[in-house]
Amino acid sequence: MKTRKLGKNLEVSALGLGCMSMTSVYGPAADKQSMITLIRKAHESGITLFDTAEAYGPFSNESLLGEALQPIRDQVVIATKFGFDIDLVTGQRGGGTNSRPEHIRAVAEAALKRLRTDRIDLFYQHRVDPQVPIEDVAGTVKQLIAEGKIKHFGLSEAGVQTIRRAHAIQPLTAVQSEYSLFWREPEHELLAVLQELEIGFVPFSPLGAGFLTGKIDEHTQFDASDFRNVVPRFSHEARKANLALVEVVKGVAQQKGATPAQVALAWLLAQKPWIVPIPGTTKQHRLDENLGAIGLELTAGDLHLIDEQIAQIQVRGERLPEAALKMTGL
């Protein structure tokens, strides 16, 4: 397995594993024992970065990951997140964010128990809290790092000024945001700032929530509980229009003897050496397929062709529902 460095000293596998879909969001939760097996198989295949959050479930995703990784805890990097207004006893969700220092501490303690560990390798603020200065958030995480409970600090979906302010208090190891051929907003400003500050980038939804696999079209029916039912980019009309983008990826995949998913991931890996995508899956064959992207070399000509063709396509539909978009810092 090839490795990459996040920040100045966190070495991880070139691809991580996003675990969110195992318990929520893209339909009903998968079978627990099957997911434990999949997580351990991922590690056997060389993956060392596993991504979860208290909000996934809530809580059930962290508990799943904790059980799966307990026998191999010292061989992996566990990333989890704080920052939503979730009751730590009942799991009841509030209306938005909560990054008050005392809440961050309580979330960290609860996560440590669920993850069956004595430290969290990478602790992200899941969404920026407009009610709490980012300096207070970074200062609290700095204290937790000094106490040995947290190893590295990260932000998710934060704007560049927030990143700069946080980094000045406690150096950031990674920033997480959506990035793929389906959503290229980070190229406008974010990537340059991360390179300047030597912060790693962890793209979530690197396959466009499944769209770039080529397995979804305008006729695809999602489960009633699937989050994509309320995402504007996945409306029937938007999917039909956005298939033009998938055709570009399919064309390159055919030339390279690869799958569309592998091309989409290889494209991300080719952008910067400090980018570590975290595709999620609940299926072993998809995990194996994704791992195949690491050995897929896209030439300068391939990358130019992709950029040239995609530049002519206007992606239709917002990437998140309106309420969720209001919580992003991009």
- pLDDT tens for each residue of 252-297: 999 999 999 999 999 999 999 999 999 999 999 999 999 999 999 9
Q: What is the structure's pLDDT at 330? A: 54
Per-residue tens of pLDDT for the chain, all 330 residues? 999 999 999 999 999 999 999 998 898 999 999 999 999 999 999 999 999 999 999 999 999 999 999 999 999 999 999 999 999 999 999 879 999 999 999 999 999 999 999 999 999 999 999 999 999 999 999 999 999 999 999 999 999 999 999 999 999 999 999 999 999 999 999 999 999 999 999 999 999 999 999 999 999 999 999 999 999 999 999 999 999 999 999 999 999 999 999 999 999 999 999 999 999 999 999 999 999 999 999 999 999 999 999 999 999 999 999 888 888 875
SS3 label, residue 96: strand
As a dihedral over the C-alpha atoms of residue 88, residue 91, residue 96, residue 101, rounded to 10 degrees, the angle is 10
Q: Which domain holds residue 253?
A: 3-325
CATH number assigned to the domain comprising residue 113: 3.20.20.100
- Is 124 among the catalytic positions? no
User: What is the C-alpha to C-alpha distance for residues 29 and 64, in angstroms, rounded to an integer?
Assistant: 11
Does 127 map to a domain? yes
User: What is the C-alpha to C-alpha distance for residues 42 and 239, in angstroms, rounded to an integer?
Assistant: 31
Q: What is the structure's pLDDT at 103? A: 98
SS3 label, residue 157: coil
* Contact predicate 75/103, CB 8 Å: no
Q: DSSP letter for 141, please.
A: H
Q: DSSP letter for 174, please.
A: E
How far, in Å, are 25, 27, 227, 228, 229 from residue 224 at the CA level? 10, 7, 8, 9, 7
- Beta-strand relationship, 77-82 and 3-6: unpaired
SS3 label, residue 34: helix
Q: What is the structure's pLDDT at 160? A: 98
Nearest to 257, CA basis, from 307, 215, 302: 302
Does 227 map to a domain? yes
Tokens standing for 117? 């560990």
User: What is the C-alpha to C-alpha distance for residues 327 and 69, in angstroms, rounded to an integer?
Assistant: 31
User: What is the C-alpha to C-alpha distance for residues 116 and 163, in angstroms, rounded to an integer?
Assistant: 30
Does 330 map to a domain? no
CB-based burial of residue 259 (10 Å sphere; 0-12 exposed, 13-18 middle, 19+ buried)? buried
User: What is the C-alpha to C-alpha distance for residues 271 and 263, in angstroms, rounded to an integer?
Assistant: 13
**Cα–Cα–Cα angle for 323, 325, 329, rounded to 5 degrees:** 135
Q: What is the structure's pLDDT at 324? A: 87
Does 321 map to a domain? yes
SS3 label, residue 298: coil
Structural domain count of the chain:
1
Catalytically annotated residue among 26, 56, 124, 179: 56
Residues 6 or more apart whose Cβ sits within 8 Å of residue 219: none
pTM above 0.95, yes or no: yes
